[in-house]
Amino acid sequence: MGPGGEFDLIRKLLGPEQDLPPGVDVGPGDDCAVLEGGLVISADLSMEGIHFQRDWLTPEEVGYRATAAALSDLAAMAAEPLGALVSLALGSVGPGPSTSPGAGDEAGLTVADSAALAMEVQKGADAACQREGIRILGGDLTRSPGPLVINVVVLGRAGSPVLRTGAQVGDEVWVTGWLGASRGAVRLWERGEIPTGKLRESFALPRPRIREALWLSERVPIRSLIDISDGLAGDAGHLAAAAGNAVVLEETSVPAHPALAAVLDPGEDSALFSLQGGEDFELCFAVPPNTLDEWVDPFQDSFAIPLTRVGEVA
């Protein structure tokens, strides 16, 4: 039941969708719940020691990353963000991140230490919100007996939310951006090295593809949409499972991140590495054949990331 297994267990836990109460259009199982009127809402819990290690990230990066990950669920519905609620639990502090070697070991925090730490995390969460034009609306703050915990709930609005369920046989499957850099950063940390540049950024400061999703949904009849948080191989499978069909990925067309060259072992396949790579927060979506081609260049001009056809629905 690691981060990757949550999807299936949540569905099992929360029961069938058919008994949704009045006022709820989509319940558990998609990226967000959808209420009457197009209000969408989603929660994302990040846990020290599971989703990140404290010596990998600064407190500000912890806040930014958790919030960006939650906002990515709005992108996965093609929703406009309205606001976020950030709940935080913190207590003991491990060694500082490797990029600030002076931080030392700070176990046994005073209230002032905790407040300062909370404000750093909050600053990062705020920055991720501000990038999308929203604010933190509230939240909770409490002591933790150990790990730092941050839960971010995002609220948005979608005129016509794009679900996971609409893919049809013959649809093309596309992804935004490059994949695998976040997994590449984790590999470096696990080797005792410190990722920098694009590799670090893709793990520590990921960019939810909210504007990209809105842009695409205004121009192309997107049939189903998901954000890549478990790796393309896993999430394309979720897309297929939700629609009751299968996605055939073409490994040779996977857009492996160029910065991976510095990470891979000799002879290791970058496409395979990227397919199984964790939290890219890029979008994966299905469109009817030949509906997207004309928009590939305008998309790249607008957002400076590629749009790549990676397979089809079978």
Q: What residues line the site for a copy of itself (CB under 8 A)?
A: 1-3, 5-6, 9-10, 12-14, 20-21, 23-24, 27-28, 32-33, 35, 39, 41-45, 47-51, 82-83, 85-89, 111, 114-115, 118-119, 122, 133-147, 149, 151, 153, 155
Q: How far is the CB of 87 from a copy of itself (least distance, A)?
A: 4
Query: For a copy of itself, which is the closer residue by CB, 135 or 191?
Result: 135
The CA distance from 56 to 186, in Å, is 9
Q: Write out the two tokens for 11.
A: 């569905």
Q: How far is the CB of 247 from a copy of itself (least distance, A)?
A: 24
Q: How far is the CB of 94 from a copy of itself (least distance, A)?
A: 12
- Which of 227, 242, 228 lies closest to 171, judged by CA? 242
CA-based radius of gyration for the chain: 19
The CA distance from 60 to 205, in Å, is 10
Query: For a copy of itself, which is the closer residue by CB, 31 or 61?
Result: 31
Query: For a copy of itself, which is the closer residue by CB, 4 or 288?
Result: 4
Residue found under tokens 């406009």:
80
Q: How far is the CB of 245 from a copy of itself (least distance, A)?
A: 24
The CA distance from 228 to 75, in Å, is 11
Q: How far is the CB of 31 from a copy of itself (least distance, A)?
A: 9
Query: For a copy of itself, which is the closer residue by CB, 143 or 191?
Result: 143
The CA distance from 24 to 245, in Å, is 26
Q: How far is the CB of 201 from a copy of itself (least distance, A)?
A: 24
Letter for the amino acid at 205? L
Q: 122 CB contacts (<8 Å, ≥6 apart)?
A: 63, 86, 88, 136
Query: For a copy of itself, which is the closer residue by CB, 136 or 254?
Result: 136
Query: For a copy of itself, which is the closer residue by CB, 146 or 197?
Result: 146
Query: For a copy of itself, which is the closer residue by CB, 154 or 271?
Result: 154
Are 256 and 182 in contact, with CB atoms under 8 Å apart?
Answer: no
Are 62 and 94 in contact, with CB atoms under 8 Å apart?
Answer: no
Residue 191 Cα distances to 94, 118, 194, 269, 299, angstroms: 19, 29, 9, 19, 36
